[in-house]
Structure 1
Amino acid sequence: MEIIEVPIEEEVKQSYIDYAMSVIVGRAIPDVRDGLKPVQRRILYAMHEMGLTPEKPFKKSARVVGEVLGKFHPHGDQAVYDALVRMAQDFSMRYPLVIGQGNYGSVDGDPPAQMRYTEAKLSKIAVEMLEDIEKETVDFIPNFDESLTEPTVLPSKFPNLLCNGTAGIAVGLATSIPPHNLREVGKALIELAKNPNLTTGDLLQIVKGPDFPTGGVIENAKELIDIYETGRGIVQVKAKAHVEKVPGGKEQIVVSEIPYQVNKAELIKKIADNVRSGRLKEISDIRDESDKDGVRIVIELKREAKGEKVLKKLFKYTQLRKGFPVNLVVLINGEPKLVGIKELLREFLKHRLDVILRRTLFFLTKAQDRLHVVQGLLIALNSLDEVIDGIRKSKDVAEARDMLQARFGLTERQAQAVLDLRLHRLTSLERDKLRQEEAELLQKIEYYKKVIGSEEERIKIFIEETESLVKKYGDPRRTYIEGVEEEIEEGSLVVAILENGKVTPIENMPEGEAPVVDILDVPFTEGLFLVSNKGRVYWLAGSQALQGSKVNFKESEEYIVGAFIREQFADRLLLATRNGMIKKIPLVEFEYKAQGMKIIKLSDDDEVVSISQSIDKSDILLFTKRGKVARFSVREIPAVTAGTKGAQGIKVEENDEVVGTRIVKEEEPFLIVVTSDGKVKRIYQQEISVRNRGVKGINVIGSARERLVDILPIKDELEVLITTKLGKAFYDRIKVDEVPLSKRDRLEKERWRLEEDDEIRRIVIKSERKSYEESEDSDKT
């Protein structure tokens, strides 16, 4: 045996480097292509091999862990289970890769149940990561005992690295990548594919910043470009919180979202410790009212305490504000590297283009192989009698095969296919099918060769696949980005209120998410009341509007039909229901409740469709889908308390329903009648005479086929926002002289051309947005 002497320093140095690289590559740092560490990749692949797809039944987590340990990952079972659990936690993963059943832990830090009690299967988005893995799209290597093979990377149509983020500590380096929004990442990838010269600044116009599963508010937007350029920095995240007024003149702070990876139970304990120490002496009580609908921490304040000042102290002394470290370290070609966001996106794009190329080569090989067989069969069928005679005279299969090759010029594979041909395939119909298949295969082969030879074609496929992925799984941003830390004691913000309960700054209004119900200028120091179709009114603080908050609905199939600012509104609110009921409610009845309060008693088949200001010197129009309109004085409507039903406003005929209301003032001489298919006409408001409440109404549309969607009172011009059933939104300025004057029974003329199967859902009059105090028609009685 030969003994080689090596200086101990060199041996220790080399061994340590080997160990460090083993930890970096084999455990802690994700691959830039699929964003997975080896244990995560092995879990997903093992579940794929087990057939644990979303539509299949769950299997015990212990079964999955055993499969992973026995085949791919010979390490501790707890490490594998911990990785499985994290991929199923919706408060850890922005887009969970595993669907878990059972106790998988909580945001309070509660541990998951043992693996023998929980069950798991792949999520739909994880299936997208594994799609095409059997089509030679990625390399496979032997597993630890060389009895099986495992993938070195997943095809990963889903950009997992940026969308789900990751964290890991290796030897001498660490990685920390925040999660992002799929819609934004997908759009950035598409734009980068179209234009590789985009800068980090260009990309940050699309990817606004991290999008954490737990929401929150990012404060340091101005620093994001430097963070994403260098790959390092701190993202400052604070909780989404607002101040509510409570009876007795006191205030309370409500926290509805906490920073990512903050333990809620520990957060509450820390606040309580600060109260006991005297640092937060303004707080009188803390309650955790969180439920399945989300986080709700209520912090009650003493009578003299000011909510906004206490909130600032909470941000300063507790984890209601937390810095998330960004360190974009990933494995590129098996080596760790610190990169910026552009390189992360570019490397994923390269991976997907390579997957598309390899998949196309696979398809080409399969198509060429099948074409070879089909052409052999057609040759044989064209000389069918001679083939049958030759086979009959052969003494065995081998001689028959040799005969076919020699006499008809077939290859061995083609000759075998002819011998395997069943008798029913000899019909003329089957022969036509083979000719058709040959033509289709030739067409496919031509296309595959085109894709293989053109990167432009592969980019086109990548864009189509990414757009489809985003359409299927994309969702609205959860984390709001402030820009810079702002003082919110003064000022206001113009916000859009969406049907789905979201209130967002007008410049951040999402495309195609939900129809816009209203556009309001909300003062930060006041609040916003939102009325739902179920007759419930919710309240949001002005600061919540700044942060892009969303109502937590209490009932199924609930949505917002109207919104108003109490301090800028009339003393009373008018509600109209689908069945023709009208109700006037004094605003003193309303409470500042984020969880909502019932303000009208509805019958089982009824719901609220519209709200209006109550202005006594004006008339109200109550109109139905089939074009019936009742006009009567607002004074006719009795003011009643929140718990009652209201009064009959219009008699609704069979197969009809109320769709809206409008207040008509003397200074607005005309009405614009709008139908759902984008047609309009202008009539004098006197065309609709004032009558008593509770009548059937008079018709204002010219055809029984039309459907009335709105009636717009107008003097000179209106600026309107129109939203449609298919999620389109567009502005228009209607000048009174542009719409020809007509009679109420005449046909409407097209103004807005809509797509097929689309129709107008809502119209918001932007020019109405002024405070109630500016109106002369005050209802102060």
Structure 2
Amino acid sequence: MSESEGEKLIPINIEDEMKSSYIDYSMSVIVSRALPDVRDGLKPVHRRVLYGMYQLGIISNSSYKKSARIVGEVLGKYHPHGDVSVYDTMVRMAQKWTIRYPLVDGQGNFGSLDADPPAAMRYTEVRMKKISEEMLLDIKKETVDMQLNFDDSLKEPKVLPTRIPNLIINGTSGIAVGMATNIPPHNLKETINAICAYIDNDNNLSIEQIIKYIKAPDFPTGGIIYGYDGVKKAFHTGRGRIVLRAKVHLEDLQGRQCIIVDEIPYQVNKSDMIAKTVLLMKEGKMEGIYQIRDESDRNGLRIVYILKQNVNTNIILNKLFQYTPLQTYFNVNNIALVNGKPVQLNIKNLIQYFVDHRHDVIIRRTKYELKKCKYRVHILMGFLKILDHLNIMIQLIKGAHNHNDACNKLIKKFEISEDQSKSILDMRLQNLTSLERNKLKKEYEKLIKKIDILKNILIKYSVRTQIIKEELLDIKNKYQDIRRTKIDYYGNKVNIEDLIEDEQVVLTISHAGYIKRTSLSEYKRQGRGGIGNRGATARESDFFKHLLIATNHQYLLLFTEKGKCFWLRVYEIPEGSKISKGRAIQNIIHLQHDDKVNAYILTRDLSNKNYIKGHYVMMVTQKGIIKKTSLENYSRPRKHGINAIIIRKEDSLLEAILTKGDSHVFIALKSGRIIRFSEKKVRSTGRTSYGVIGINFTKDMVIGMICVESKEKGYLLVVSEKGFGKRSNIKDYRITNRGGKGIKTIHITKKTGSLISIKHVTDQDDLMIIKKSGIMIRISISDIRVMGRATQGVRLINLKENDAIADVAKVYKPIMGFR
């Protein structure tokens, strides 16, 4: 039709139209589909399903009815958005692993924890749960507003007059436009106790006080809430991240250790979780698991992780928590509709709005009952008025032409209302007996008293709160159950240390600055005089200079020849086999190109104040300068390292040792001389000092230092460049003052070569020796002869021509023997 024929065209900016239309759409989704009402905790589709079942009379004590029948009822009368949405909603309301307190009683296949789909609606049957009837109780007493349905042919409730705090105990989740909600479920008993305390405290209960009643969310699948910070944040702000873990225990099955999963976190798909774990096993990330079996049945969930022999169960368990859905997160986001608008709510707000709703329901119910009572009193007053004039009433009725005439005559004669007159005419003759007359009088008296009670309810707020409390306590007595989800208040995030076994490893650092760690189990003990096993193949003109026995969780403090200190956790050092070359240290720490690592210290936890204050770092340079500094000065790791000692020109840091403050210091020279003095002769200074003279010499060089506690026993082991070594009693070395020239500890000849290492050892220790060619050997200290100070010792390892010993290290027993 053209404009000339009456059509009117209105130009509209497309941007404005899109904006307006999108806002209308988003508000429709927010209000009418995705978000729950704060009062009854239901979205429109949930509310319509329950109301449709109520209208059909499919309550808890009725027979089951086909799901298709309810879906058709709801679809045709209230929710014209597709049968799938209605049926899926009804299914979720019946799944005990999805909703904490199911509102629908289902019969048939309603899916599973493996996310198996439910049977078609023509096969399943449903009826209301008893608890859902509590949500519709009193709905016929004008307790809630009604609205027209989609075609204005019927009315449906805007909200249900629920007696249960459904939004708190069952929670909900939904995605709207530009916002989402994810409210966790809580235990009914705890929730009602908190609401009653809120009422008793004149609606002024703090969130901290509420937490004493509602400990945390309570999920239908149980599990463990790991850590409490997320729960507290969610209670206070309405937003928070809750860590959920599976509930497990250990069993021995057919000689193998097994991890048994009894409960999994909320909303975790069991079959997907198992499939992901199997994939991790194939990728080599779960090497300790031998087999997985799903032994779940109708009696409960049971997943069995069968472990391989000789694996650390805790390590495997922590890896499962880290890499599989055995540990998940529930992101709390309490958004609900308050007066039709989405609002972020904390736990106190949820309780407050529910209590306010119950007040409103009780007021409306009381007004309805009061109106009914007043009407009945009015009718009874008419009865009582004419009962004393029965003969006159009968004569008037007999003389009337019809019903309306009789009604008018009674109104005129006895001055009663039309309703009273009609009720008199409808009265049975049996009510005219004296017995029935007494019943009417008693009923009248009872109603008068009830009216007074109802008026008192409307007038007094405290009376209404008492009714709310009594009704809630009745709900608690009917439906309370024990908490399913346990709380681990002190749980924290999984630390990487929990995923790495604290096993003993060998650390090697080459002359060119390559480092690696290798499991100590790769090295076998040999007898004295053996030729050794092939270690790493050294690069041309490179050889291994440092060898250290450590455990994965220790800290490694690296000291460079220029006096800087760097930090590494042992597990951060790249792992390699015996024959691998390792990785350049400068690629791991921020080392200057003209600097190299010369010393190392192993420590335990640097956050332990007693530990760091009770230990010192003792350092010595090649020129014999010694320095003592508190370990506390090295307890705050920095990425680019720190200065540990000021190094003079033509000097370099050689050794650093951890002490407890009461040790005896032994400093050895290349020429075979050694000095012993008390650590107390060295004053503790700060990191930026030079140090003091430890041993006095000319044309010589310090090759090592050891620190032995004053009461500690054992032997002094010395090893020469050509593979000779021996043990001597510590008592053979007299205590002198710091700064002396020392005494002979080994007879140095061309055959023995220069002194290269000194160690403090016991009979229980082993010795690791590494050649410049890369060959390693491990021997027992007890196999090395105890000899006098001035002897040259015995041959410890056979050396080929042009080969020499690069370094030696002591294998400590037990593992935690490291200082």
Taking the aligned partners of 1:56 and 1:178, their CA distance within structure 2 comes to: 31
1:134 aligned counterpart, secondary structure? helix
AA aligned opposite 1:287: R
AA aligned opposite 2:224: V
1:276 aligns with 2:282: yes
Greater alpha carbon shift after TM alignment, 305-314 vs 19-28: 305-314
Alpha carbons of 1:48 and 1:240: their partners in 2 closer, same or farther (altered >3 Å)?
same
What is residue 404 of structure 2 aligned with on the other side? 398
**Conservation of the 8 A alpha-carbon contact between 2:35 and 2:181:** yes
AA aligned opposite 1:470: K
Q: 1:197 aligns with which of 198, 201, 204?
A: 204
What is residue 351 of structure 1 aligned with on the other side? 357
AA aligned opposite 1:110: D
Q: 2:189 aligns with which of 183, 193, 196?
A: 183
1:87 aligned counterpart, secondary structure? helix
Alpha carbons of 1:25 and 1:486: their partners in 2 closer, same or farther (altered >3 Å)?
closer
What is residue 88 of structure 2 aligned with on the other side? 82
1:447 aligns with 2:453: yes
AA aligned opposite 1:109: A
Taking the aligned partners of 1:487 and 1:348, their CA distance within structure 2 comes to: 35
Q: 1:163 aligns with which of 160, 169, 183?
A: 169
1:225 aligns with 2:198: no
Q: 1:238 aligns with which of 232, 245, 255?
A: 245
What is residue 472 of structure 1 aligned with on the other side? 478
**Conservation of the 8 A alpha-carbon contact between 1:200 and 1:225:** no
Report the alpha carbon displacement of residue 6 of structure 1 after superposing the two structures with TM: 2.9
AA aligned opposite 1:142: L
What is residue 439 of structure 2 aligned with on the other side? 433
What is residue 646 of structure 2 aligned with on the other side? none
Task: Provide Cα deviations, 1:649-672, integer angstroms capped at 9, x if missing partner.
Answer: xxxxxxxxxxxxxxxxxxxxxxxx
2:140 aligned counterpart, secondary structure? coil
Q: 1:11 aligns with which of 6, 11, 17?
A: 17
What is residue 395 of structure 2 aligned with on the other side? 389
Report the alpha carbon displacement of residue 487 of structure 1 after superposing the two structures with TM: 11
1:202 aligned counterpart, secondary structure? helix
Greater alpha carbon shift after TM alignment, 83-92 vs 237-246: 237-246
Report the alpha carbon displacement of residue 407 of structure 1 after superposing the two structures with TM: 1.5
Report the alpha carbon displacement of residue 36 of structure 1 after superposing the two structures with TM: 0.6
**Conservation of the 8 A alpha-carbon contact between 2:168 and 2:191:** yes
Task: Provide Cα deviations, 1:217-254, integer angstroms capped at 9, x if missing partner.
Answer: 00121332222111111110000012223453x31100
What is residue 261 of structure 1 aligned with on the other side? 267
Report the alpha carbon displacement of residue 98 of structure 1 after superposing the two structures with TM: 0.4
**Conservation of the 8 A alpha-carbon contact between 2:227 and 2:492:** no
What is residue 424 of structure 2 aligned with on the other side? 418
Task: Provide Cα deviations, 1:435-477, integer angstroms capped at 9, x if missing partner.
Answer: 0000010011110000011111110000000000011001000
Task: Provide Cα deviations, 1:468-502, integer angstroms capped at 9, x if missing partner.
Answer: 001100100000011021799xxxxxxxxxxxxxx
**Conservation of the 8 A alpha-carbon contact between 2:58 and 2:127:** yes
What is residue 332 of structure 1 aligned with on the other side? 338
Q: 2:55 aligns with which of 49, 55, 65?
A: 49
1:137 aligns with 2:143: yes
What is residue 206 of structure 1 aligned with on the other side? 213
**Conservation of the 8 A alpha-carbon contact between 2:223 and 2:247:** yes
What is residue 415 of structure 2 aligned with on the other side? 409
**Conservation of the 8 A alpha-carbon contact between 1:60 and 1:116:** yes
AA aligned opposite 1:305: V
Taking the aligned partners of 2:481 and 2:109, their CA distance within structure 1 comes to: 26
1:99 aligns with 2:105: yes
Report the alpha carbon displacement of residue 404 of structure 1 after superposing the two structures with TM: 1.2
Match runs of 1:445-524 below 5 Å: 445-485=451-491
Report the alpha carbon displacement of residue 66 of structure 1 after superposing the two structures with TM: 0.6
Structure 1: segments with no counterpart, 5+ residues: 489-781
Q: Give the RMSD, CA atoms, in angstroms.
A: 1.3
Taking the aligned partners of 2:402 and 2:82, their CA distance within structure 1 comes to: 58
Taking the aligned partners of 1:109 and 1:398, their CA distance within structure 2 comes to: 68
Taking the aligned partners of 1:183 and 1:31, their CA distance within structure 2 comes to: 22
**Conservation of the 8 A alpha-carbon contact between 2:230 and 2:243:** no
Q: 1:173 aligns with which of 173, 179, 187?
A: 179
1:44 aligned counterpart, secondary structure? helix
Taking the aligned partners of 1:423 and 1:68, their CA distance within structure 2 comes to: 46
Alpha carbons of 1:69 and 1:486: their partners in 2 closer, same or farther (altered >3 Å)?
closer
AA aligned opposite 1:50: L
Q: Report runs of 4+ in structure 1 exceeding 6 Å deviation.
A: none
Match runs of 1:545-624 below 5 Å: none
Taking the aligned partners of 2:492 and 2:241, their CA distance within structure 1 comes to: 19
Report the alpha carbon displacement of residue 388 of structure 1 after superposing the two structures with TM: 1.3
What is residue 712 of structure 2 aligned with on the other side? none
Q: 1:369 aligns with which of 375, 380, 390?
A: 375
Taking the aligned partners of 2:454 and 2:152, their CA distance within structure 1 comes to: 34
Percent of aligned pairs with the same amino acid: 49
Taking the aligned partners of 2:380 and 2:148, their CA distance within structure 1 comes to: 36
What is residue 65 of structure 1 aligned with on the other side? 71
2:280 aligned counterpart, secondary structure? helix
Report the alpha carbon displacement of residue 278 of structure 1 after superposing the two structures with TM: 0.9
1:360 aligns with 2:366: yes
Taking the aligned partners of 1:89 and 1:362, their CA distance within structure 2 comes to: 37
What is residue 35 of structure 1 aligned with on the other side? 41
- Return the index of the structure with the highest Cα Rg: 2
**Conservation of the 8 A alpha-carbon contact between 2:261 and 2:301:** yes
1:128 aligns with 2:141: no
AA aligned opposite 2:361: V
Report the alpha carbon displacement of residue 410 of structure 1 after superposing the two structures with TM: 0.6
Taking the aligned partners of 2:492 and 2:28, their CA distance within structure 1 comes to: 46
